[in-house]
């Protein structure tokens, strides 16, 4: 079986790392080519992931870079088409909901290549999110839908895609199980400074929050209030957020900001935080995996299982709601949702093999 993985952004690198390890440990895959679109290219958003997670160097790096959603997707498609046309592929494997995923789905479908979508079936039902458009389009173009949860399978069934859907578990859970002890054992300055249970961890990067000055200012105001009244807040700044703050003249009075952190550093901080505030789907899940209460800075979530027992609370960009949720974060739990058995990657390879033999 010959696989080609198309990736381009930080969350995809973590999923790819799990897939690469499963490929290396098994005998099902004759070749696995990696195509990196270059959607994320900053050292802290890219290189550190390949190094820390021991991901092989990409077989092709397209150097797409940044731009508007349409420009970035179009450029990725233009550069991806000749590479995919010449790649030996039984399956083109796509991950998540980025512009790289959308570009990969469109190009592979037009070339008549089989497509498998990892993390299929997620729905926020908010078409204002670019990620929602990407994931829905990728699902409908894919031949095999590799679902992380029963909820995802049910979402696809409602869209008439149940025959392509397979429940395999969540590769991000695989990654958390494998790397959490590695993250804690590595130590370093962050481990020395941020002691368990003494701080809140925040991330903000979604377009709906960074591109709306009022929403961004409200969220930053809430983080300042939490830092002043409840506990210190640590905010690793995504490049998009840093740029948006600078252009709007926004700053944080009391929040500690720092560079983007690596995946291992993020796992360390999530596991040690008193609670997490985020608009990231991946961080919501990772917080759940390590049983840290989460406050989501959006009005909806794809990961509805995390909402059980107040393990995750939707607060949007409402300063009062965010602060109120922070005040009762310790009341979260128990954590009862199931994201697989830690062998999702092996299940995915099995599903790919079975589907390849079907007419």
pLDDT band at 203 (very low <50, low <70, confident <90, very high): very high
Q: How many CB atoms lie within 10 A of CB 8?
A: 29
Q: What pLDDT, on a 0 to 100 scale, did the predictor assign at position 45?
A: 57
- Is residue 324 situated within a structural domain? yes
pLDDT, mean over the chain: 94
149 and 196 in a single domain? The answer is no
Q: What pLDDT, on a 0 to 100 scale, did the predictor assign at position 358?
A: 83
116 and 60 in a single domain? The answer is yes
pLDDT 10s digits, 111-143: 999 999 999 999 999 998 999 999 999 999 999
Q: How many CB atoms lie within 10 A of CB 308?
A: 15
Question: Domain limits at 271?
Answer: 180-331
Q: What pLDDT, on a 0 to 100 scale, did the predictor assign at position 229?
A: 97
Question: CA 37 to CA 29: how far, in whole Å?
Answer: 23
184 and 69 in a single domain? The answer is no
Q: What pLDDT, on a 0 to 100 scale, did the predictor assign at position 88?
A: 86
96 and 7 in a single domain? The answer is yes
Cβ atoms of 207 and 130 closer than 8 Å: yes
Residue 118 backbone zone (phi > 0: left; psi -120 to 50: alpha; other: beta):
beta
Choose among 242, 219, 249: nearest CA to 317.
219
The CATH number of whichever domain residue 228 belongs to comes to 3.40.50.2000
218 and 284 in a single domain? The answer is yes
Residue 359 has pLDDT above 80, yes or no: no
- Is residue 93 situated within a structural domain? yes
Q: Report the run of H or E that residue 166 belongs to, with start and end.
A: strand 165-167
Residue 329 has pLDDT above 60, yes or no: yes
Q: What average pLDDT does this structure show over 328-350?
A: 94
Choose among 300, 284, 296: nearest CA to 337.
284
Look-up of token digits 């498609």: 77
145 and 38 in a single domain? The answer is yes
Q: What share of the chain is helix, strand, coil (3-state, %, to 5)?
A: 50, 15, 35
Instruction: Please report which residue ranges of the chain form alpha helices under DSSP H.
Output: 10-25, 47-52, 69-86, 99-110, 130-141, 150-158, 171-186, 189-193, 207-210, 213-229, 239-248, 263-272, 281-289, 319-327, 344-357
Q: Report the run of H or E that residue 278 belongs to, with start and end.
A: strand 275-278
91: which strand partners? Answer: 3
> Rounded to 5 degrees, what are φ and ψ at 91?
-140, 135
Q: What pLDDT, on a 0 to 100 scale, did the predictor assign at position 280?
A: 96
Number of domains within the chain? 2
91 and 13 in a single domain? The answer is yes
Q: What pLDDT, on a 0 to 100 scale, did the predictor assign at position 42?
A: 58
Residue 333 has pLDDT above 70, yes or no: yes
Upper half-sphere CA count for residue 183 (Cβ side, 13 Å):
22
Question: CA 177 to CA 43: how far, in whole Å?
Answer: 25
pLDDT band at 198 (very low <50, low <70, confident <90, very high): very high
- Is residue 166 situated within a structural domain? yes
Question: CA 168 to CA 165: how far, in whole Å?
Answer: 9
Look-up of token digits 């997707």: 73
Q: How many CB atoms lie within 10 A of CB 63?
A: 11
Question: CA 287 to CA 311: how far, in whole Å?
Answer: 9
88 and 223 in a single domain? The answer is no
Q: How many CB atoms lie within 10 A of CB 50?
A: 17
187 and 204 in a single domain? The answer is yes
pLDDT 10s digits, 68-112: 889 999 999 999 999 999 988 999 999 999 999 999 999 999 999
- Is residue 146 situated within a structural domain? yes
34 and 130 in a single domain? The answer is yes
Residue 342 has pLDDT above 80, yes or no: yes
Q: What pLDDT, on a 0 to 100 scale, did the predictor assign at position 307?
A: 96
Question: CA 22 to CA 355: how far, in whole Å?
Answer: 18
For residue 272, give both structure tokens. 């040690």
Pairing of strands 144-147, 115-118: parallel
Question: CA 40 to CA 244: how far, in whole Å?
Answer: 17
Look-up of token digits 């591109």: 211
| Residue 200: strand, helix, or coil | strand
- Is residue 251 situated within a structural domain? yes
91 and 64 in a single domain? The answer is yes
Cβ atoms of 122 and 302 closer than 8 Å: yes
pLDDT band at 65 (very low <50, low <70, confident <90, very high): confident
Q: What pLDDT, on a 0 to 100 scale, did the predictor assign at position 305?
A: 95
Start-to-end C-alpha separation, the chain: 16
Q: What average pLDDT does this structure show over 173-200?
A: 94
Q: What average pLDDT does this structure show over 224-245?
A: 96
Residues involved in catalysis: 205
> Measured in whole angstroms, how far is the alpha carbon of residue 16 from the centre of its chain?
11
pLDDT 10s digits, 12-63: 999 999 999 999 998 889 999 999 998 765 555 577 888 899 999 999 999 9
- Is residue 223 situated within a structural domain? yes
- Is residue 175 situated within a structural domain? no
- Is residue 40 situated within a structural domain? yes
Question: CA 146 to CA 135: how far, in whole Å?
Answer: 12
189 and 160 in a single domain? The answer is no
């Amino acid at each position: 079986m010959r696989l080609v993985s198309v990736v381009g952004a930080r969350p995809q690198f973590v999923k790819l790392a799990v897939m690469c390890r499963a490929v290396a440990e098994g005998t099902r895959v004759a070749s696995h080519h990696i195509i990196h679109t270059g959607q994320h290219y900053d050292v802290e958003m890219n290189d550190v992931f390949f190094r820390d997670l021991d991901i092989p160097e990409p077989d092709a790096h397209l150097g797409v870079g940044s731009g508007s959603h349409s420009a970035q997707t179009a450029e990725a498609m233009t550069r991806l088409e000749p590479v995919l046309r010449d790649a030996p592929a039984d399956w083109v494997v796509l991950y998540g909901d980025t512009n790289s995923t959308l570009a990969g789905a469109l190009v592979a479908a037009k070339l008549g290549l089989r497509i498998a979508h990892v993390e299929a079936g997620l729905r926020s039902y908010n078409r204002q999110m670019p990620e929602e458009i990407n994931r829905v389009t990728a699902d409908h173009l894919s031949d095999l839908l590799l679902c992380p949860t029963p909820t995802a399978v049910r979402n696809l069934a409602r869209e008439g895609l149940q025959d392509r859907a397979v429940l395999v578990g969540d590769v991000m859970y695989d990654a958390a199980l494998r790397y959490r002890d590695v993250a804690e054992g590595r130590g370093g300055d962050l481990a020395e400074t941020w002691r368990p249970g003494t701080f809140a961890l925040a991330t903000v990067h979604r377009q709906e929050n960074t591109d709306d000055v009022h929403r961004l200012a409200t969220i930053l105001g809430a983080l300042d209030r939490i830092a002043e009244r409840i506990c210190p807040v640590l905010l690793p700044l995504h490049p998009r957020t840093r740029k948006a703050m600078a252009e709007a003249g926004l700053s944080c009075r009391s929040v500690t900001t720092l560079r983007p952190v690596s995946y291992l550093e993020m796992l360390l901080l999530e596991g040690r935080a008193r609670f997490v505030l985020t608009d990231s789907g991946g961080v919501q899940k990772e917080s759940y995996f390590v049983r840290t209460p989460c406050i989501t800075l959006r009005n909806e979530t794809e990961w509805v299982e995390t909402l059980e027992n107040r393990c995750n609370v939707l607060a949007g960009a409402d300063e009062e709601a965010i602060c109120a949720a922070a005040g009762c974060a310790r009341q979260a739990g128990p954590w009862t949702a199931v994201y697989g058995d830690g062998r999702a990657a092996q299940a995915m390879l099995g599903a790919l093999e079975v589907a390849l033999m079907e007419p």
